[in-house]
Amino acid sequence: MAADQAQGGFPVDPIHQFQIQTLIPLDFGGIDASFTNSSLWMVITMFAVTAFTIFAMRGRAMVPGRMQSIVEMSYEFVANMVRENAGSDGQKFFPFIFTLFMFVLFANLFGMFPYAFTVMSHIIVTFALAMTVFIGVTLVGFAKNGLGFLKLFVPDGAPGALLPLVVLIEIISYLSRPISLSVRLFANLLAGHITLKIFAGFIITFVSTGSVLGIAGAILPMGMIVALTALEFLVAFLQAYVFTVLTCMYLSDALHPGH
C-alpha cells in the first residue's frame, strides 16, 4: 500500500496496530518503566481471567450453567494435558500451567477485537513467558534430580564415538527452547494480524474509488477477512494450546530426565 492512511484518516499500515504507546511515563534510575498500551492489556487480561473464573464458579452448582461449564471444561482440558504430558508428578504444577494457558488464550482472543492490543504479537512478551518456563523447569529438574538431571543430555543407546556430538546437539536443542517457544507464538499472531490488516486495506482502497467496479472488487477481500477472522480465532486457541503442551513436555523432561 502506497500510503499509511486511506481516505478519512483510517490507518491501513499493517504495522501500525503493533505500535507501543506510552500511557504513564515512568523512569527508575534511567530505566524506562513506562506503563504502555501493552502493559494495560496485560493487566486487563489478568483481571479478565480472574474475574471470569471467580464469577463463573461463585455458585458451584451441581448442575453447572454455561459459564461454570466453560471453566470446568477448561480445568479438565488443562488437567488432562498435564497428566498426559507430564505425568502424575506434574499435577503439583497445575495451577501455574492453568494460569499460563488462560492468560495466553485470553490475551490472544482480546487481540481479535477492534481497538484492543495484541499483547502476544511482541516477541519481548512471548520471550519473557518462554524464559519463565525455561528457567522454572530447569530449576525443577535440578531440585528434583540433582546432577541426575544432566542425563537428559545423554540419550540412551547413543554410540560412544558419537556421544560428544550427540550431547552437544542435545544441549543446543535444550538452550534453544525459549527461542522456539517464543517465536512460534509471536510469529503466528503477528503474521495473522498483518494479513487481516492488508485485506482491510484492500477493501478501503477499492471502496474509496467510489465506482461500482471498485465496490464490487471489495467483495473478495471482504470474504477473505471473514474467513481469516474465523481462522485467527482458531489460531488464538491453538497457539495457547501449543505453548502450554510444550511447557508440559519440558516439565516432563525435568521430572523424568532419564526417560
Question: Which residues, 6 or more positions from 199, have their beta carbon under 8 angstroms from its beta carbon?
Answer: 221, 224, 225, 228
What's the grid cell of residue 111?
A: 487481540
Q: How large is the average pLDDT for residues 138-149?
A: 92
Look at residue 2 and tell me whether its pLDDT is greater than 50: no
Q: What predicted TM-score, i.e. pTM, was given to this entire model?
A: 0.87
What is the spatial distance between Cα 195 and Cα 225, in angstroms, rounded to a whole number?
A: 9
Q: Which pLDDT score, from 0 to 100, does residue 15 have?
A: 81
Q: What is the pLDDT of residues 90-111, one digit of tens each?
A: 899 999 999 999 999 999 999 9
pLDDT band at 9 (very low <50, low <70, confident <90, very high): very low
Q: Could you report the per-residue pLDDT of 47-63, keeping only the tens digit for each?
A: 999 999 998 888 776 76
Cell triple for 179: 527461542
CB 204 within 8 A of CB 12: yes
- Tell me what pLDDT residue 51 has: 93
pLDDT digits (tens, 9 = 90+) for 207-228: 887 777 777 878 888 888 899 9
Say how many C-beta atoms besides its own lie within 10 A of residue 58's C-beta.
Answer: 10
pLDDT at 204 > cutoff 90: no
Contact between 133 and 247 under an 8 Å Cβ cutoff? The reply is: yes
Q: What per-residue confidence (pLDDT) applies to 27?
A: 85
**For residue 100, which amino acid is it?**
L
pLDDT in tens, 241-250: 999 999 999 9
pLDDT at 87 over 90: no
Tell me the C-alpha distance between 203 and 91, whole Å. 49
Residue 119 pLDDT: 94
Q: Is the pLDDT assigned to residue 7 strictly greater than 50? A: no
Helix H or strand E segment including 194:
helix 177-208
pLDDT digits (tens, 9 = 90+) for 107-143: 999 999 988 999 999 999 999 999 999 999 999 999 9
Distance CA 38, CA 124 (A): 11
| Cα 234 from Cα 116, distance rounded (Å) | 18
Residue 4: pLDDT band with limits 50, 70, 90 = very low
Span 11-26, pLDDT tens digits: 557 788 888 899 999 8
| Listed residue (209, 15, 112) closest to 4, CA to CA | 15
The CA distance from 214 to 206, in Å, is 5
Q: What is the pLDDT of residue 136?
A: 95
Report the mean per-residue pLDDT for the chain.
Answer: 87
**Nearest-angstrom CA–CA distance, 24 and 15:** 23
Concatenated DSSP letters of 119-181? GGGSHHHHHHHHHHHHHHHHHHHHHHHGGGGGGGGS-TT--GGGHHHHHHHHHHHHHTHHHHH
Residue 35 has, within 13 A of its CA and on its CB side, a CA count of: 7
Query: Which set of grid coordinates corresponds to residue 15?
Result: 504495522
Residue 189 three-state SS: helix
pLDDT at 10: 47
**DSSP-derived 3-state class of residue 32:** strand
